[in-house]
């Protein structure tokens, strides 16, 4: 198992696929603060709540000069459906490639549930400073109140 990337580390600059078929990578946000939240799966209860919470607070993040990016292994088409179904304004990206950003950060890892072992995304959020370095990490996130907590951290940066 890989260790999680930590505060002070440079955010790996690995491209992700956007729902429209384009690509985005952390260096595209250089000079800006960025929140990247990794979540397990579109249209599941916790992930839907998290994406809707970030969308609800997006005007506050915008006002604070902070960009948002939600990342899962779901396909761009699934992201399009997720965005449309829940009126999400938070940008999403796909990290489906093996050796991708979630692998580099250690958030795509072995998980256990009901006696079964499988690979899965650990719900993790990164706050990246204007210099491209990780300023704060929230590991094994509990969804309730999380977006507000991240907003407070981003405003303090």
* Catalytic residue positions, numbered: 47
How far is 114 from 117, CA to CA, in rounded Å?
A: 9
- Tokens 């595209």: give the residue: 28
Distance, CA of 69 to CA of 43 (rounded, Å): 17
Q: Are 71 and 79 in contact (CB under 8 A)?
A: no
3-state secondary structure of 54: helix
- Cβ(40)–Cβ(123) below 8 Å: yes
Residue 88 DSSP code: -
Tokens of 27: 């260096």
Distances (CA, A) of 153 to 13, 85, 100, 139, 147: 22, 29, 26, 14, 10
């Amino acid at each position: 198992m890989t260790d999680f990337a930590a505060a002070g580390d440079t955010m790996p600059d690995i491209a992700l696929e956007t729902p429209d078929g384009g690509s985005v990578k952390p260096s595209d946000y250089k000079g800006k603060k960025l929140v990247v939240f990794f979540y397990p799966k579109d249209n599941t209860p916790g992930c839907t709540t998290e994406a809707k919470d970030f969308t609800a607070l997006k005007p506050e993040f915008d006002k604070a000069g902070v960009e948002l990016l939600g990342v899962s292994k779901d396909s761009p088409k699934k992201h399009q459906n997720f965005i449309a179904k829940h009126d999400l304004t938070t940008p999403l990206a796909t990290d489906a490639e093996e050796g991708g950003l979630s692998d580099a950060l250690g958030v795509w890892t072995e998980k256990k549930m009901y006696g079964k072992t499988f690979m899965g995304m650990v719900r993790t959020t990164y706050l990246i400073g204007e210099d491209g370095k990780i300023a704060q990490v929230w590991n094994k996130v509990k969804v309730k109140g999380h977006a507000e907590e991240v907003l407070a951290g981003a405003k303090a940066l």
